Amino acid sequence: MNDMTPTREQREARLEGMGCKRKRVEDIRFTQGKGQYVDDIKLPGMLHGDFVRSQYAHARIKRIDATKAKALPGVVAVITAEDLKPLGLHWMPTLAGDVQAVLADGLVSFQNQEIAFVVAENRYITDDAIQLIEVEYEEQPVIVDPFRSMAPDAPVLRPDLAGKTVGAHGPRKHHNHIFEWTIGDKPATDEAFRQAEVTIKEMISYHRTHPSPLETCQALASFDKIKGELTVYGTFQAPHVIRTVASLLSKIPEHKIHVIAPDIGGGFGNKVGAYAGYICAIVASIVTGLPVKWVEDRMENLSTTSFARDYHMTAEIAATKEGKVTGLRVHVLADHGAFDACADPSKWPAGFMNIVTGSYDFPVAHLAVDGVYTNKAPGGVAYRCSFRVTEAAYCIERAMDILAQKLGMDPADLRMKNFIRREQFPYQSALGWEYDSGDYHLAMQKAMDTIGYRELRAEQKARQEAFKRGETREIMGIGVTFFTEIVGAGPSKNCDILGVAMFDSAEIRIHPTGSIIARMGSKSQGQGHETTWAQIIATELGIPADDIMIEEGNTDTAPYGLGTYGSRSTPVAGAAIAMAARKIKNKAQMIAAHLLEVSEYDLEWDIDGFRVKGNPERAKTMKEIAWAAYNSPPPGLEPGLEAVNYYDPPNMTYPFGAYFCVMDVDVDTGVAKIRRFYALDDCGTRINPMIIEGQVHGGLTEAFAIAMGQEIKYDETGNVLGASFMDFFLPTAVETPRWETDFTVTPSPHHPIGAKGVGESPNVGGVPCFSNAVNDAFGFLGSTHIQMPHDAWRIWEAAKRLGLHA
């Protein structure tokens, strides 16, 4: 070995593989304004489309007159439901088995619903034309409160379904009922409650909110009449699914549809579904023969595409006097708005709400969810939600605190007492999941020790005494949360979208000089896949991450995948990447054996190549092997070095975390100051600790927003009150607290690299943690539950209800 030979550490470091805090390669273009977003794409002759929308939440449309608009110079077309009817495109199927009006078909069912699509030479003209379109309405009675939806005299919100007693997910109880979904052992659970020494019951609402990515939803459709080919650029979290849906709806063969998701400026679930804007842009391009772009504005985004939550959960826990939980019973009233357009896997009308037993060893449980229609925008699965895991975690984490309060127990101790123990994994939950792995006690203990939990409780006690003596008007809250996530949809036995199993894929191609292009079925919207996927390949194949290019989002080149949401990319596409790399590695081993003139079995892998066992001087690097694959492959072996893998995971992955929030609340102003927020996450093997930290920071910031103020609210006539950033709380660096992050590592036993997802964890754990802190602050004054969001006004009102104001 001469001085120039790199050490093992140097060879390892040069790869920037898994575990490395590699800087985000995509940020080079993002931070210089060189990203390529849909709105940056300009095609020759491109037209612009925009919607006439309803100002009413519920009304019959008596007349639409577009004569004046059509006469305006620059207007090319005005499309209404009547024009879509001959094409069969005035309604579209939703991912939840319902149908949704693309353009209002004689009836509007929520404010800002799409009525007509105006196509013109530019956005100024579309806006002017929209003003010229006359729509005559006949107002109908409005329902915004889901609790009134199923009243006997409630107006029929979906006349198109009148008389349908069976929906996509079974019987309907009422004309505004969508589905009832139940799971668990009801008789056994009811018995546990009859036997219980202690029970609690609380209606816990998780209000309606919205992901509001900075880039709104957009599409640019271009139909080539000569070739009969359709190209659609769009903000798609799941481009392949959009291609399949576009083919099924338009009857254009799937190979003649090119769906391309370029850079995306945040998705957060807002860009999973299929929207009227996509369909109208496509139709308009087919009709006009020119490219048509549709770009949502902020108000349209907040008020129409993909709301989040609106779950009203009545939770009951049965327990012993010592605080051992014996049963959980939950009923959910789920407000899905005017159409059931929830983007869940087909068989899961309430997503993975049945993770509501959380991190605790409930012997029995029962969950029932009723979905109902209201005159509000459709959607429902969005915003770092993991298919309703956010709602489930909020429900159980609030309920556990309420139980602790009733028992007079410390909420952290109550959790410790009921955690699933390490030796119980894989753990079969009462509501049907098999948790793959976890060490909850270890994580909780580490978190408590790090923040000095007992000392904080002592300080809080002293503060409460001082408050009672009238020496301070500030009370202190300590939010405790321990969440279990379920991500990685999913095993084909559980999960499909429109019948397509939710696998994911990777294709890796090594070039002769040893550099790599790799493509996946996932699609980054800011998560940093270009950085992290290269790290997995770097470690698996011994090629430096900088020599690996990652490409996602082009359905012509990427293998078919189900896209990025539900924190599924690492659990599913991440696994496919490792498996594809291992196929290549197997072939590389054959090539290396041939080059070194030994048997394959005499070789062992060593960081960046194969070496002969017992004779490490004799070795071939992956780079050398790559050259040989194209230059002198072993006789009988096909040349080249590439592989594809489609990965159908055997199970979901179950990340978890322990979060603590320390808060000081001024009862006179209602202002809550976050003193500390500590988040310990366990997402198994960590691919890039810096990216994980970024994901946690972002998710916690969104959790802070949701818990402390963000809301899509409606007045009783269905006017949406949170449709601009004037009214919708979007925290900036000024409001956002400082985050402390930490971790433990419990690898997933079934994932090829042991990694679990993390993208949504901070929102799943963060929201209950903030809410528990607010509730914990007021607990000693006799309050059990204060509904979110906890903005200063509502906190002030809570204080007033407790008699703290004159």
Interface positions with ligand CUM (CB under 6 A): 237, 267-269, 272, 381-386, 565-566
Could you tell me which residues come within 8 angstroms of residue 763 by beta carbon, excluding any fewer than 6 positions away?
383, 384, 385, 390, 699, 700, 702, 703, 706
* CA separation for the pair 107, 341 (Å, rounded): 18
| Shortest CB 205 distance to ligand CUM, Å | 19
Q: How far is the CB of 634 from ligand CUM (least distance, A)?
A: 45
Nearer to ligand MCN, 411 or 561 (CB): 561
Burial class, 615, CB count within 10 angstroms (exposed 0-12 / middle 13-18 / buried 19+): exposed
Return the DSSP state at 479: E
Nearest approach in angstroms of CB 757 to ligand CUM is 10
Which does residue 570 bind out of ligand MCN, ligand CUM, none, counting CB within 5 to 8 angstroms by kind?
ligand MCN
From the list ligand CUM, ligand MCN, none, pick the one residue 667 interacts with, judged by a Cβ distance below 5 to 8 Å according to partner type. Answer: none
529 binds, among ligand MCN, ligand CUM, none (CB under 5 to 8 A by kind): ligand MCN
What residue 532 binds from ligand MCN, ligand CUM, none (CB within 5 to 8 A, per partner kind)?
A: ligand MCN
Of the pair 267, 514, the CB lying nearest ligand MCN is at: 267
CA 100/CA 92 separation, integer angstroms: 5
Residue 269 CB, nearest approach to ligand MCN (Å): 4
User: How many C-beta atoms surround the C-beta of residue 55 within 10 A?
Assistant: 13
Look at residue 236 and give the partner it binds from ligand MCN, ligand CUM, none, a contact being a CB closer than 5 to 8 Å depending on partner kind.
Answer: none
- Show Cβ contacts of residue 611 under 8 Å, excluding neighbours closer than 6 positions: 603, 604, 617, 618, 619, 620
> In whole angstroms, what is the distance from residue 60 CA to residue 64 CA?
11
CB 704 within 8 A of CB 201: no
**What is the token pair recorded at 560?**
């078919």
Q: Are 313 and 319 in contact, with CB atoms under 8 Å apart?
A: no
CB 266, min distance to ligand MCN, A: 4
Out of 22, 24, 243, 384, which one is annotated catalytic? 384
Q: What is the DSSP letter of 795?
A: H
Residue 189 burial by Cβ neighbours in a 10 Å radius (0-12, 13-18, 19+): buried
Q: How far apart are CA 396 and CA 740, in angstroms?
A: 24
237 is catalytic: yes
Among residues 140, 237, 527, 535, the one annotated as catalytic is 237
Residues of this chain that bind ligand MCN (CB under 6 A):
213, 266-269, 384, 525-529, 532, 564-570, 683-688, 691-692, 695, 698, 755-760
DSSP summary character for residue 671: -
> Considering beta carbons, is residue 382 or 443 the nearer one to ligand CUM?
382
Helix 622-631 and helix 574-596, axial crossing angle in degrees, nearest 10: 70
- Least distance from ligand CUM to the Cβ atom of residue 267, Å: 6
Q: Which listed residue (20, 385, 495, 769) is catalytic? A: 385
Which tokens is 450 given?
């790090």
3-state secondary structure 321-345: CCCCEEEEEEEEEEECCCCCCCCCC
Minimal CA–CA distance to 74: which of 111, 116, 124? 124
* Nearest distance in Å: CB 506, ligand MCN: 13
Nearer to ligand CUM, 237 or 303 (CB): 237
Q: Which residue's CB is nearer to ligand MCN, number 84 or number 758?
A: 758
Cα-based distances in Å from 59 to 149, 164, 702: 17, 22, 35
Instruction: Decide which of ligand CUM, ligand MCN, none touches 61; Cβ closer than 5 to 8 Å per partner kind.
Output: none
Q: Which residue has the tokens 């009857």?
A: 251
Residue 269 or 670 having the CB closest to ligand CUM = 269
Select 460 or 741, whichever has its Cβ closest to ligand MCN.
Answer: 741
User: 381 contacts which partner out of ligand CUM, ligand MCN, none, CB within 5 to 8 A by kind?
Assistant: ligand CUM
Question: Closer to ligand MCN at the Cβ: 167 or 684?
Answer: 684
Least distance between ligand MCN and beta carbon 453 (Å): 26
Active-site residue, 14 included: no
Which of the listed partners (ligand CUM, ligand MCN, none) does 345 bind, with a CB threshold of 5 to 8 Å by partner kind?
Answer: none
* Least distance in angstroms from the C-beta of 264 to ligand CUM: 11
Query: Is 158 annotated as catalytic?
Result: no
Comparing CB distances to ligand CUM, the nearer of 236 and 796 is 236
Q: Tell me, yes or no, if 342 is annotated catalytic.
A: no
- Residue of 113, 507, 760, 769 marked catalytic: 760
Q: What is the 3-state secondary structure (H, E, C) of 535-578?
A: HHHHHHHCCCHHHEEEEECECCCCCCCCCCCCCCHHHHHHHHHH
Partner interacting with residue 691 (select from ligand CUM, ligand MCN, none; CB below 5-8 Å by kind): ligand MCN
Cβ(702)–Cβ(729) below 8 Å: no
Complete DSSP assignment for 281-298: HHHHHHHHSS-EEEE--H
The C-alpha atoms of residue 556 and residue 707 are separated, in whole angstroms, by 41
Active site members: 237, 384-385, 760
